[in-house]
Amino acid sequence: MREHSNMKKVLIAIDKSKSALNAAKFGINYAVSHDLEIGIVEVTNYSVGNIDAGVLPEEADKASQIQAKAKVEQLKSLFPNTVIKEFEPIGKPTDEIKKIIETWGADMLIIGHQTHGLLHKIFSVNIEEQLVNHINIPLLIVPEK
């Protein structure tokens, strides 16, 4: 693990959940108090759209990106004197986060922990577990509450 004194950049991964907003607030406060650069990423998954409803995949992707941008702007308004670098890629969240860690040079990743019901746990991919096993920087998981 890297020593704190060598840390320069913190990447905060958010999504549409309430826990992500909590993690982002914690991460920004942490970074500001330790004089670290801040990056925020919300990955938009590729969408299949809804052809029957006339929604093409590109339109669904664009709508998701607009929502992501709004969340980042909300965070920026809560921390108006803080410089926050934005990343808004489209793709598989774990892959895109790993790319940003490597290209931007993040020294720590902060995400929010989400609790889910049994069916969600059975049928979904746990991003926390994937990140723990595939990144080489410290991962801080902020509790939901």
Q: Which of 51-55, 71-75, 88-92, 122-126 has the lowest mean pLDDT?
A: 122-126
| Number of domains within the chain | 1
In eight-state DSSP terms, residue 136 is S
Would you say the C-alpha torsion 107, 112, 118, 123 has a positive or negative sign? negative
Mean pLDDT taken over the chain: 80
In the predicted structure, residue 30 carries a pLDDT above the cut 90: yes
Segments forming the whole domain that contains residue 11: 4-142
Q: Beta partners for 111?
A: 141
Question: Are 142 and 26 within 8 A, CB to CB?
Answer: yes
Tell me: the pLDDT tens digits for 2-25?
445 689 999 999 887 778 888 999
Q: How confident is the model at residue 118 (pLDDT cuts 50, 70, 90)?
A: very low
What is the pLDDT averaged over residues 124-129? 62
Residue 120 has a pLDDT of 43
Tell me: the pLDDT tens digits for 95-105?
999 999 999 99
Q: How confident is the model at residue 50 (pLDDT cuts 50, 70, 90)?
A: low
Highest mean pLDDT among 18-32, 57-71, 110-124: 18-32
Residue 1 has a pLDDT of 43
In degrees rounded to 5, what are phi and psi of residue 23?
-65, -40
In eight-state DSSP terms, residue 101 is I
In the predicted structure, residue 51 carries a pLDDT above the cut 70: no
| CATH, residue 78 | 3.40.50.620
